[in-house]
Amino acid sequence: MPGIPDRQIDGQLPLSAPEAIARRRATPHFDASRPVPDEWLKRVLHLATLAPSGFNLQPWRFLVVRDARNRRKLQASAFQQPKIAEAPVVVIVLGYHHPHRTHLEAIVNQMSTLGVITPEAGAEMRARASRTMERVSDLALWTTRSTMLAAATLMIAAESLGLASAPMEGFQPDKVKEAFGIPNDHTVCCLIALGFATGEKPFPGRFGLAEVCYEEHFGQPWTLGEA
């Protein structure tokens, strides 16, 4: 199936989704001497594009930074975090505010070609998506919600292929935009470093379901126990 990592890459079999989710850590340091193979990078980015989004508008955009000089430029906009210089790849994850204005027709046409929707359903989708999106009061918030789903998918995909990742929220959005020519109708949602970790990071623990889950109403205790 297109987009599914069902074959070996450089002799490595991909992890299953549960394994990748369980193993993923925010990597503090990367091996600067090991580049990310182009094939791996392309597959990780492609898998990230399979994330869900409202009306299938796919507002995520990925600005991939590999050149060492550009990574140092990005580092200057991100409080000099060492991992930006160490990691061979840093992805600036952007959320585009207006896909309903520029890409809706292409999205509907693609869905029609694939047989996902009928022409009648396509016309209804065009009208409903345009009407709904033009009423959104905070497009930056809207695009961040969908784009962060893609960012999480990207990190799980990376882990499944044997790549370490580190999401970063410590950056100055205006400086990142200025340094890389990012227009104002895009939100800088996060930075994700990709590469090979210099060592294992221990599992820091997570709360149990009883701490984070409720049943039927906020505050109603969880009774199904742990996984």
pLDDT along the chain (227 residues), means of 10: 42 82 93 97 98 98 98 98 97 98 98 96 97 98 98 97 96 98 98 94 93 98 96
pLDDT at position 178 is 98
pLDDT at position 6 is 43
Residue 223 lies in a domain: no
- The pTM is what? 0.92
Residue 41 lies in a domain: yes
Give the number of other CB atoms < 10 A from CB of residue 53.
19
**CATH number, domain at 164?**
3.40.109.10
Environment class of residue 126 by beta-carbon count within 10 Å: exposed (0-12), middle (13-18) or buried (19+)?
middle
Q: Which residues pair with 194 in a beta bridge?
A: 89, 165
Residue 217 lies in a domain: no
Q: Which residues contact 45 (CB under 8 A, 6 or more apart)?
A: 62, 64, 91, 154
CA distances from 104 to 10, 17, 47, 73, 127 (A): 38, 30, 21, 34, 10
Residue 222 lies in a domain: no
Residue 196 lies in a domain: yes
State the amino acid at position 49 in one-letter form. T
Residue 179 lies in a domain: yes
Residue 130 lies in a domain: yes
Total domains in the fold of the chain: 1
pLDDT at position 201 is 80
pLDDT at position 2 is 37
pLDDT at position 199 is 87
Residue 224 lies in a domain: no
Range of the domain at 156: 17-212
pLDDT at position 14 is 85
